[in-house]
Structure 1
Amino acid sequence: MSRFDAGRLTRIGTWMQSYLDRDRFAGCSVLIAKGGAEQYFHSCGMRDMAAGLPFERDTVARIYSMTKPVTSVALMMLAERGLFHLDAPVSEFIPAFANMRCLIPDAADISQTEPCAPPTLHQLATHTSGLSYPFNPGLLARAMDGEDLLFKPDQGPLAAMTDRVAALPLAFRPGSRWEYSVGIDVLGRVIEVVSGKTLDQFLTEEILEPLGMHETGFSVPPQAVDRFAALYTPLAGDSFALNAAKTGGDPLRQVDHADKSPFLNASMHSGGGGLVGTIDDYMKFAEMLRTGGQGLLSPKTLAFMMRNHLPGDIASMGPQSFAEQPMEGMGFGIGGAVVLEPGRARSPGSVGDFSWGGMASTFFWIDPVEELSVVFFTQLSPSSSYPARPQLKALVHGALM
């Protein structure tokens, strides 16, 4: 088993500082554990530049799509209880999806549709459902953008939003392609229907509290409001409007203020992107995944989740969407990406690495071969702005000797 070289680990802090020096990140932190023992922590920069507040270990950050693995664990907890099968159509739980239509091939208008089957829970979890995101290219994405279907923290309640999503056609027949989507937000509503609890209640009672993640939730916990970070973007317009992305004069323009953010009192429980929390809290979740469930899930179920559920890699399924990570050499499991071939993914790592990131450039991965868990926090949207993720993987694996 390899070990970390302490001198090489210090390169990570130098790299992080270089992002600050070039005005790429306002502040950031990284936490690395191996075999369950902390190996490295470093933070630098500001969580709020205007207020002069430092980015620290207990800073609360928006983790956006790193919510997806948490919601996916909740889904599988209910599946383990025999409450549904993953091939069940979502219409069994959300009737608005009963009479689905999808765009015809090469459609030129959102009205050009044909009947299709409702997506299954498995297709929703693996981004093969035919749903999309407003920031993707394509007709459905533009229609979603026009209706602002993004499950933002001030857009609750969840039930009404999922019904609005169901009213639009799918971008393609379920199962035929891969496209990053709000599918796991829809699964959040399924969890509510099946469990009889709000998604917030279920995640808190069944996952967050048992793991000791007391500073993670859909709203900033009251005791942590003074530690909540601001959000920045290098874009001139909306930090989520990737189709119209234009760089502005200020590479660190503040777009969500810590003292006015909708995350202070969220009305929407977004299973695809709504959680905020601390780096230590998320490390507890990552270590739960790495070590086999810690009683929340069976190790067999977790191993199933972290296998590739696609016929090949993501790239082989013709994606046209934004994605948080490379598509070549990468498969997709239930709620996260799986490394199939590090060479094709063009980033050092082990076969079987399981990972995902968030729109504010946060990132995590677990490496079952090296018994490694890594969590990176910052607050810059969009996450496609800079190649921080492959650079961090190279730095971490470059320190293993």
Structure 2
Amino acid sequence: MSRDRTVEAMLDELVAAGELAGAVTLAWRAGRIVQSAAVGWRDIAGGLPMERDTLFRIASLSKPVTSVVALTLLEEGRFALDEPISRWAPEFADMRVLNDPEGPLDATRPANRPITFEDLLTHRAGLTYGDFHTGPLARAYAEALGGDIDSHASPGDWIAGLAALPLIDQPGAGFHYGCSTDLLGLLLARMDDAPLDEVMRRRLFRPLGMTDTGFDVPREQRPRRARMYGFDSSGRLAERTSGPGGSFMAERPESMTFQSGGQGLWSTADDYLAFARLFLGAGAVDGVRILKPETMALMTANRLSEAQRASARLLGMPLFAGHGFGLGVAVVLDPDNASAVRCKGAIGTVGWPGAFGGWWQADPIDQSAMVFLAHNALELEQLAEGIGLGVYAAITEFHAAVSAPASALDPHSPADAEGLTAPGRR
């Protein structure tokens, strides 16, 4: 059985079992695509199958994209990593820190130092997501910021609302996953005096041919979108018209100006593979340079201390047993203990997953990149009950199936022939 058919068979089984609606996968090694699959349904009720160019909400796969765009401005000297963000957002000039993240909002102490741009890029700003909390901070985040992806707050009001909330930790003290990248994206827009989507198109999407990536899907392309699926109270696959916790709306209003650099992008497997290949080419793809090699090396070097790696948690689970974290990406430090759900490969392999079942990684040592896209929206309570975890099993099996040396792949497979076309340029 060919490697492609092995991945397809695995995905077919999960689709048949109701673990996910479908998925699209791509793998690149040694200068060509070595695996491609589109399995299941982008619209179950409409009988529309997944296709290679299906559009997905990529959730936190947006974060590395925003981070790369930020580093293009870093190279231009628009900001420094150790520079306080208050230069561009004076709203953050006088921050306070909660004594207890679940305690009263008026029980605070002064921040020891300002938040820096490196704090935002490494999730050490003391910011969080409201959904991670049960105390008054959860409601305060929702009231101040609105939906995590689709918010009616203007960029200026969103920044002001976040700045008015207390931090959950001292700046620089520890890794706390949250809306740091959303704030970073809005600051980039301020620096370039343009909406974030325009900044991204000019600096990244157009040069790499990522024509299908953005915060909005043009009306004529909407039939290509994968519908969002989640799970009902009994654990059965069900279509969702809005995001968990109200994160996104059924249809984003054209008047909405907030753009989530942390979670809001739509993309395709080919577009994201073009992005992932930046990490194989030291900041360049097919002769198109986005970042200098030294900037890419800075981005992919671990920035966390041993204590910060050991204390980092997400939903109560350790995050960095075999990983560190650079400027917007997880980095493999210990291949034997690295979880494939984040990224797994040689030392220096990078990646970061998304909440809706999206995943990617790039291994510069064996020059491989992998992309897995799905729509699997889960509530935190469902995760705790083990509902919907099939997508993570699929990612792990996909990773294992395409991680063999290039010599093990069938050189005559159809996927190899497709690899003669550069990703993102159709």
- TM-score, normalized by the shorter chain, greater than 0.5: yes
SS in 2 for 1:366: strand
Mark the runs of 5 or more structure 1 residues left unpaired by the alignment. Answer: 1-5, 237-246
Match of 1:71 in 2: 66
Change (3 A) 1:31 1:325: farther
Instruction: Show the 5 A alignment for 1:184-333.
Output: 184-234=181-231, 236=232, 247-256=233-242, 260-262=250-252, 267-294=257-284, 295-312=289-306, 315-316=309-310, 318-322=311-315, 326-333=319-326
Q: Deviations over 1:209-251 (max 9, x none)?
A: 11111111110034411111111112x4xxxxxxxxxx44533
8 Å contact from structure 2 (residues 230, 238) kept in 1:
yes
Mark the runs of 5 or more structure 2 residues left unpaired by the alignment. Answer: 409-426
8 Å contact from structure 2 (residues 350, 363) kept in 1:
yes
Q: Deviations over 1:159-195 (max 9, x none)?
A: 2112111110000101111111100110111101211
Q: Deviations over 1:271-328 (max 9, x none)?
A: 1111102111111111123212221110110111011111138641x23434999431
State the distance in 2 between where 1:323 and 1:195 align: 38
8 Å contact from structure 1 (residues 211, 285) kept in 2:
yes
Match of 1:162 in 2: 159
Pick one of 84, 91, 97 that aligns with 1:89. 84
Pick one of 372, 388, 396 that aligns with 2:368. 372
Pick one of 167, 179, 199 that aligns with 1:182. 179
Displacement of 1:137 after TM fit?
3.3
8 Å contact from structure 1 (residues 71, 188) kept in 2:
yes
8 Å contact from structure 1 (residues 290, 368) kept in 2:
yes
SS in 1 for 2:369: strand
Match of 1:111 in 2: 106
- Structure 1 runs (4+) greater than 6 angstroms displaced: none
Match of 1:25 in 2: 20
8 Å contact from structure 1 (residues 339, 352) kept in 2:
yes
8 Å contact from structure 2 (residues 212, 267) kept in 1:
yes
Letter in 1 for 2:131: F
Match of 1:243 in 2: none
8 Å contact from structure 2 (residues 102, 133) kept in 1:
no
Identical columns (%): 31
TM-score (norm 2): 0.83
Displacement of 1:333 after TM fit?
0.9
Change (3 A) 1:217 1:98: same
CA RMSD of aligned residues (A): 2.6
8 Å contact from structure 1 (residues 212, 281) kept in 2:
yes
Number of aligned residue pairs: give it: 384
